[in-house]
Amino acid sequence: MKPLTGVRFCLGLLTLSLGSTPAWVAKPAGKTLGQKGAKQARRSVGRVQTGLDASSKDPSTGLPIFSLYGDHLRPTDDMLKGIDALVFDVQDAGVRFYTYTTTMGYCMEEAAKRGIAFYVLDRPNPMGGEIVEGPMLDPDKTAFVAYFPLPVRYGLTIGELAGLFNAENRINCDLHVIQMKNWHRNYFFASTGLRWIPPSPNLRTLKAAILYPGLEILQNAGVSVGRGTQTPFEEFGAPWMSGEDVAAELNARNLPGVHFANQPFIPVSGLYAGQRCGGVGVRVTDPAAVRSMRVGLEIASLMQKNYPKNFDATKTLLLLGNEATVQALGAGTRPEEIIASWGPDLAAFAQTRRKYFLYN
């Protein structure tokens, strides 16, 4: 199927300057180029201009560039005027609270309202398509970091996720997914042979992408996750924490696929900028064995036990999105018991997600 060839479309392109976009998509036959923008965690809106949140123009074509971060999280009537099709070409992280998927959902909704076709250029899930992990989002906690009730790691490609959103959230847009060739569910990104291009400034490495779902839940609660260092999401710490003690306790738990090492650091920006943090480096020894949500939960449990005056477990709710999990964490429930409590929801989701598989 070649739905974007042989027809003169006016295309809106939803992408990132950090993305790798086929040339034929970057040269639409129409006049409008829509592009998702960002700052720090999502900082670029164009190859030429960065740190921009307002609209601008592409200097080589004169096509308008619109940011969908900041003042506008959804495309407006003016942005979509004259558009026949929206093309979504964004590498995501395979994580519920990574907001590029929310942007996709919002754009699908706006496309459906206006009868605009929506094309997704599918990309690999960096963590493969087999592992599903983490609590389900409570239905009353949808937000920009939580578009639709999913587990934190949902094990779908961005194209498969679009199919799930379209049906399960009753968007019913005219959806077309341009499938990848030769991708399999057991492929982590490293298996593809493709070059990793960071989809956002802090997801610099594949190891960081694997650890990101679990470590990111810690920052709101008072733990630096390495933003402002050379290895974000590969270390965590705080001025009030003993990296040596924490690393030893975590290693004693024998978590599969990871090893912890004492690693103090001083962030140059972000949480605890300019302060020396007792830190722990997280070494990934077997990517397929890592259960990143368990890693994050084990760290949070240890922080809650050892540093209750400094670590606020209730603030993990924003990203965990599950009240029962946060209450259990605050009550000192063992991580393995919390993980077991996710079982029924994850089993039900496993049946739902299978309906949207595009790959074996």
pLDDT in tens, 169-219: 999 999 999 999 999 999 999 999 999 999 999 999 999 999 999 999 999
Flag whether pLDDT at 135 surpasses 70. Answer: yes
Mean pLDDT over the full length of the chain: 89
In a shared domain, residues 124 and 247 = no
CATH number at residue 271: 3.90.1150.140
User: What is the C-alpha to C-alpha distance for residues 199 and 50, in angstroms, rounded to an integer?
Assistant: 14
54 pLDDT above the threshold of 60 = no
pLDDT at residue 37 is higher than 60? no
**Structure letter (DSSP) for residue 262:** E
CA–CA separation, 246 vs 254, rounded Å? 13
- Quick one: average pLDDT of 286-301? 98
Q: Report the distance separating Cα 278 and Cα 239, nearest Å.
A: 6
The answer to whether 120 touches 175, Cβ cutoff 8 Å, is yes
218 within some domain? yes
8/110: higher pLDDT: 110
Residue 192 and residue 73 share a domain: yes
In percent, the amount of the chain with pLDDT more than 70 equals 87
Residues 192 and 227 in one domain: no
The first and second tokens of residue 310, run together, are 């400094």
Residue 9's pLDDT band (boundaries 50, 70, 90)?
low
Answer yes or no: do 127 and 228 share one domain.
Answer: no
Q: Tell me which residue range forms the domain holding 56.
A: 11-196
